[in-house]
Structure 1
């Protein structure tokens, strides 16, 4: 099982989500840790090669976690956020891309 490494405020952002959302996204991340695929995800190449977005929707809205699993040492969680519009905000993409560049510097 690969460990999770949260970059920037991604862990705090995930913790601020409603409990059912945290649990659902946590299960999806655990699936990735064990080498599986999330139930609803898509590549998000605008962030970087190997970046994926886990998608979750419930009565509270649409929630996303952007992660990278291609590194041998860990799964890097770049960003966790709630979507307010149909398209992902450029600020969310830019933040995830900025954190993606930090992976090479992570211990």
Structure 2
């Protein structure tokens, strides 16, 4: 899911319904889960992509603050 951010991956879960999880697992300190949601249509909604993007930016800022401290 490079549209969300660099290194963002997606897990797809189908159990009669469809679920998605956006996450980043390229850093040694943690796996960052950005967004988990029930997918109701074929295409991922713009709203879910935007939530992922916003949380990606928060994660980048959090990591920057960790390095400064």
What's the TM-score, normalizing by structure 1?
A: 0.56
Q: Give SS of 1:102's match.
A: helix
**CA distance, structure 2, for counterparts of residue 98 and residue 51 of structure 1:** 13
**CA distance, structure 2, for counterparts of residue 71 and residue 91 of structure 1:** 26
Instruction: Specify the alignment match of 1:92 in structure 2.
Output: 48
Instruction: Specify the alignment match of 1:75 in structure 2.
Output: 31
* Structure with a larger share of its residues in strand: 2
Alignment coverage as a number of residue pairs: 63
| RMSD, aligned CA | 1.0
1:87 positional shift: 0.4
Structure 1 segment 1-107 matched on structure 2, within 5 A: 44-59=1-16, 61-106=17-62, 107=66
1:47-93 Cα distance to aligned partner (Å, 9 max, x none): 0110011000012x100110001122111000000000000000000
Which structure 1 segments of 5+ residues have no match? Answer: 1-43
**CA distance, structure 2, for counterparts of residue 101 and residue 72 of structure 1:** 18
Which structure 2 segments of 5+ residues have no match? Answer: none
Q: State the structure with bigger RCO (CA 8 A, min sep 6), 1 or 2.
A: 1
What's the TM-score, normalizing by structure 2?
A: 0.85
